[in-house]
Structure 1
Amino acid sequence: MASPYKLRCNLVGHEKDVRALVTSIFPENGLISGSRDNTACLWVENEADNSYHRELVMRGHSNFVSSICVIPPDDTYPQGLIATGSNDKSILAYIPGVPDPVFKLTGHEGNVCALASGKFGFLLSGSWDTTARVWLNQKCVMVLEGHQMAVWAVGIISGQGIMLTGSADKTIKAWKAGKCIQTYKGHEDCVRGIGVVSEGEFLSCSNDATVRRWAVSSGDCLGIYYGHTNYVYCLSILPNGQDFITGGEDRTLRVWQEGKCVQTIYHPCESVWAVCALPNGDIASGSSDGVIRIFTRAAERVASQEVIEAHEASLANAPVASQPLGDIKIEDLPGPESLQKPGKRDGQTTMVNTNGTVDVYQWDASQTKWVKIGNVVGSSGSTQRTSGKTLFEGAEYDYVFTVDIKEGAPPLKLPYNIAEDPWMAAQKFIYKHELSQVFLDQVANFIIENTKGVTLGTGSVLSNSDPFTGGDRYIPDTDKNAGITNEVSDPFTGAGRYVPEGKTTDSPSNSHFPVKTFLYFDTVSPAEQILGKLKEFNKVIDPELQVSEAAIDNLASLISGSANAEAVKTLEKLIAWPPEYVFPALDILRITIRNQEVCKYFSSSQDCVDLLCQHASQGNPPTCRMLAMRTFANFFRYPEGIELNMRHIDAVLQSAINCKDFNTKNAQVAVASLVLNYCVRLSSLDDLESKSKCLQAIGEILIVNLDPEAAYRLLVAAGTLAALDDSCKALAHSIDLPDVVRKFHTSDVSKLVECSKLLSHTLSS
């Protein structure tokens, strides 16, 4: 192997744990750190003293900084941005060189513990609230929901538009266009870090003390790497793109080459929270003692002998957890004379009995000597407890608490050493006893409360919220009175080219988009035909669902456009009929909501939305499903109906996507018109998340074999959003919509060719 890494320098400045490390773009070769002291720092290399100096302290968070990433430069921020995630549930963005944030992102309901950036300015965040969020232009455009526990790790495979999330539920998920396309299972404990190796592979590390290599597309685990003896918190890919470094709860930073651990670097502290590979080949670690350490293979950058000796002295005095002893008794260990024999490999460790105490040494091949890396505290194999600690399950602890978690259940034992992070001790306790994560806050605060007056190993704990409870699903607001447009005639009854109204683009040749008018389905069949079919069904349906013939006759008033209250009540009963009998009632509902009072009445009914979505579901008669889509489209006529559709955008759009199996023109056009109406409404709103949902729906529906008119309306819908909001262009690229659009460039229908080429140009501009 290449020469081993040696200490280059220590960066001291943070007051508490360093939880995150990334390299900077501006300045080049800089290092950015985030800490439990609520700050992030920018460190710049100083070749004169072979170290780094702290150039900037970024403040603004009210709780500890958990994650950091760098957002690449764009026209707005030519030097890029530094994004920090915090336990205060927010994300702050800083311009390099400026200590105060330029904007703040809110929406998560728990600690923002992971961040990653991608193409087009996308930002991906993971949180204790069990979700990941996708941000663009300071707005949340997607919420990735599916994990059962905290999302500790995220990554982006930009070339494929795939986003990765790793969770405390032991799984990793791959997402594309906001949908989970793969779940990777294999880890036996929380997934804590993700590193993208290539377009086809990525790495993950876990509390199960392993690192795994995965195939992106197949989901296969390609390799499992063992070496750590405790939680693995972090990993970073080395500049060669294949090898990597890791850090964990066993006090070590480990270097991996070709799947093997080739070097183990111990630290004089409890945890290595963060590791980072630097462009010049050096590596960095952030630890629970608040120190950042840089290690190098370059002989000219190795620290002075004085610095190395001070580092070795701090290692020699560091406490080491008792677990390595297992069942070995102190008296069975060799004495100091055993250190005269050289080690077999770099990083090898050995324990030595020095006058009744256990010292741990590591073989340093570069110096050809054993270096003391700590003293073992709490011998698990000893039957004597001269330390004054409490023996529990073969190990000694400063405290062993008795905790009553559930009424009527036996109390549980909670062991704790003051060198531990209270939150980590609480997490171990919860996993061991298979308790709900809602107890995390309670257990950690119990530890803090019952160890008052004692200096804990990692400083104050700042979290005040349960980090695993999720918030309510985000429902976008709508302005009831803004942007309502006049109706246009039913576009399906006549021949000839459909040209949308409301053209506002600067291009005089664009007669396609954006549009400002909604499309409605207003064609009315003769009332006697509709009512006749209802009477026919009324005779054979379950008697409990039947209505009187007079009540059916009374529905004629609704078809003619009046708001007959008694008839409305009858219709409300009829739309709950089974799918094989309901289509005449749905046709009346589609027609009758042209009356604003009737529209207002049904817009206030949750049952109406649920029934329409149910009637639109796969397996039901095609006519029933088509009429449900047409009815949703007609709700856009009045503010009350618009509010209904916007309030239930998730359910309605999903129903539209589920109807992409339609194989008739009328049905496909009904779906496309509904989506187009959503885009018309959203074009006047600042609601990027809902726009994202529409673009995803368009992309999913366009890939099937569509009637030209339906395809055209979907292209117009996408153009209506993209022409008026540059953020939508980036969103479209993230779901590969440009590739889908290009297939219409060779269509036999001229307006499809014209519109698709115009949309391609718009998306690329």
Structure 2
Amino acid sequence: MEALQYKLSQTIAAHNGIVRSISTQGNELLTCSSDKTAKLYEMKDNQYQQVTLISFFEKYIYATCARVNGGYAVGHDNQIYLLDNEGNPLGILEGHDQQVCSLKSISENLLISGSWDATAIIWDISQMKQLYRLNGHKYGVAVYGDENLNFITGSQDGILHSWSKETKIKSVQAHKDIIREILLSPLGGYITCSNDETIKLWSKDLELIQTFLGHKSFVFTMKIHMDQVISGGDDRLVIIWNLDGTPQQTIQLPDTVWTVAINNFNDIIIGTSDGKVRVFTTDKNRYATQAEIEGLEQEASLSNAKQEGGMSEEEVQKLPGIDKLNTMIGKKEGEIRLFRNGNKPEAYMWSLATKNWQLIGDVIGGKGANSKKFFPGDKYFEAGEYDHVFDVEDDNGITKLLPYNEGESFYDSAEKFCLREGYSKHYLQQIVNFLKKNTSFGQSQRQKKSELETMKEQYAQQQILQQQQAKKQIDFQYIPYTQCTYYENMNLQGLSKKLFEFNAQMSEELKLTEKETLIFNKGIESLGQVQVQKTVNIENSVSIIFIQKLLKWDAQYLLPVYDFFRLFCLHHSSEQLFAGLEKGMNLFLNIFTIVNTQPINAVLVRLALQTLCNCLKHNTNSCAILYHLRIVKDIILSLLDTDEKTVLLLSNLILNLSIGIYQRNGLNDQASELLSEAIITFLQYKQRDVETIAKLVTAIGNLMKSPAKQIREQCKKITFEFIQSLVIDTNNQDTLKCLEEVKLSMLI
């Protein structure tokens, strides 16, 4: 009996970036992307429909993993987020020193993760702690584990390791390149895939059983489904294999396949570089329309023809002949399809006005080594055929396309590439070196630099020297500004009276117990004593009570709660709340809810903003608020159109945050990027008073004076155009001189 064929069932325009990972649980689907978001879908009426957007990540999301009643997600910040079934963060696992690239849920309370720090960690989820750490890898680690605490790991050196708990049992040279995925084989052993274009089947003792050959490039992903292996990779293919290594079906996609998954309907779900998630099924009742299926085939054919510079004879013969031009109707203006004219592929575009297909031209080029490559074009590089279209992988593992023609200036191409991707000039020479190494022109010129390039290098060196001399000669008086604004006024008697009055109205679940009341009273008393005795401590229980009970009170009762916490943040004992895995996340999320609740409670909002300002008082608190700066940025932008008192508080908060970034230059440029974006949006929204503008300009000045080069460059990239054209209508000489210094800091 012939096996059922998988056909397209649904196409989801899921993301604006690469779909890096897909996981399934029941009728739910979780996707994540380089666009910094994850999305949760549910199957309804035979179609996946989005139910949740997860957007608290600061940079790209690398991997997801399903679990009972939720899942896990990892991004650029080296941490593993435990999510509930609605995508809300429940906790954070910290332990890796670089980004996590591989996750496997072993059981409800057991997880294994692999990282670019060359380690794998096994986690006890019930205790939110590490059980074992497996060392001895090279760079990114792929992982697998079972409930008997047997683990398999592999990394960039192609070596596969087996472990029992933390003890290494065996190592084999499994692949010639990076091991991307490790799964349990239906035969009881393991199966691996690699950048060396192969998939390999192993016994339980890591003896090689079978090698699967068929992919033409890196194999990034695979899943096991009953007695089949489903794999996908950079060649834009998904191959369905039998366990003897023979392919049963091949599915061509329009872009690189990064992830595949299987749901409980036996569907194959595929995530690709174009941001789309496609569902394939063997259920004929759930097939997409014939037009949708043919549309995908055409899109894949056209995309692959452009990428490879031509089509194989087999691919050409599969195209509809030009005799179909009058019977095949286009779906939209500008739709492009390929038709076969004899043995030659031709590209046609659909015109709604004339209701016919119009010839664009031949699909030129062959698949030889000297064929041209097609680049679709952008703001910096024209569309057309190039001698090379390089895949350049950035620090985040995301591939960028760099077109280049032999004989062109390395520096011009590298500079356009850096401008397009927003890279600093620090990367310019690296791109130039890459082009020299990988092009014929570069190899022929390696011993002899062109006069133009030599002049450019000399000019660049002169510019650096001039900038260094200018920095030594300029004496900045107004930036950096390092005096934070704190809100210290207190009425502890009134605060205490109102808080316990509200407490009496709470349900038993949220009401402070007698013991908790005593602890909290003591904490309030300690706030009054701190003016006299700096070493007074406040019990850690106060932080626990605040998070577990007081933050859950309705907004109408939160005024005394935030009045207390505003003062508590000035006390050194508050650092205990911002330490640990979550770094005070509940507080920041609660404030975000407050500022987005209508009708807005202006007094409560101001107390919450004063609390955030006071978070910059102590080091642990300051690091926490900068860590959660994406949430804080959203809080700021939620209050763009507000009263003058709140605007002044916001400007003080922004200035405090800039001081925190300046004083902690070890942070990456993400904090600078987020704050710079918030400042410019805030300034552009409407005309601000001079005092507010002055504080926001000073905040930019603090970022521009950071010892960290990346912070300065990120700030300049976002704010340069606006600041250089900014004119402040004031006679205040201090404000004008401060603006002049900020402008100057961007020019040296």
Q: Given the two structures, how large is their TM-score scaled by the length of structure 1?
A: 0.44
Larger Rg computed on CA atoms? 1
More RCO (CA 8 Å, sep 6+): 1
Q: Given the two structures, how large is their TM-score scaled by the length of structure 2?
A: 0.45
